[in-house]
Amino acid sequence: MHFVRPYWKGAVLSLVLLSSLVVLDLSIPRLIQRIIDQGINQHNQPLVIQTAVIMITISLLSLVIAIGNNIFSVRVGEGVARDLREALFLKIETYSYGNLDRKKPASWMVRLTSDIAALKNLTQISLRIGTRGPLLMIGS
C-alpha cells in the first residue's frame, strides 16, 4: 500500500469506473426482463426497439468505461512497479561488496524483474477483475 499511495487518485478513479461498469452490467438483465414482460408478451414492438437501443447504448458506454478502467489500472500498476524497482535498486546499492558477493547476481535480477512483475500484475488485477467479481456478487 505504501507504493500505491502516490497513485491514489488513479486507483480511486479506476475503482469508480469499475463500480459504474458493474452498475451498467447489472442493468442489462433488467432491460431483458422489460423486453420480455412488457414488449414481447404485450406485443409492444416500439418498446422492444427502444429497450434494445438503450441496451446497445449501455454496451457502448460500458466499452468506454472499461477502457478507462484499464488505462488507469495499468498506470497505477506500472507506477507501483517502477517505484518498487527503484526502491529495491537503491537498497541493493547500500549493501557492502561482501554481501553482494554472497548473493548471486541472478538472484538480484529475479527480484528486480519477475517478483516486481508479479506485484504489478496483482495491483492491476486488484483494480480490475479482483474487485469486479465481489461488486457483481453484491449487486446481484
CATH of the domain at 95: 1.20.1560.10
pLDDT tens-place string over residues 6-39: 999 999 999 999 999 999 999 999 999 999 999 9
| Helical segments of the chain, H only | 8-34, 45-93, 97-102, 105-110, 116-126, 129-139
Between residues 43 and 98, which one has the greater pLDDT?
43
Residue 96 lies in a domain: yes
At 98 the pLDDT is 75
Domain encompassing residue 90? 8-139
Cα 72 from Cα 20, distance rounded (Å):
14
User: Is residue 59 over pLDDT 90?
Assistant: yes
At 34 the pLDDT is 93
Q: What is the pTM of this model?
A: 0.79
At 103 the pLDDT is 72
Residue 114 lies in a domain: yes
Residue 70 lies in a domain: yes
At 83 the pLDDT is 92
Question: Is the dihedral angle over the CA atoms 18, 23, 26, 32 positive or is it negative?
Answer: negative
Query: Which of 42-56, 88-102, 106-120, 121-135 reaches the highest mean pLDDT?
Result: 42-56
User: Is residue 51 over pLDDT 90?
Assistant: yes
Looking at the structure of the chain, the number of domains it has is: 1
Cα 140 from Cα 129, distance rounded (Å):
16
Rounded to 5 degrees, φ, ψ at 55 are: -65, -40
pLDDT tens-place string over residues 65-111: 999 999 999 999 999 999 998 888 888 778 777 777 777 767 777 77
Contacts of residue 55, defined as CB under 8 A and 6 or more positions apart, other chains included, come to: 28, 31, 32
Residue 3 lies in a domain: no
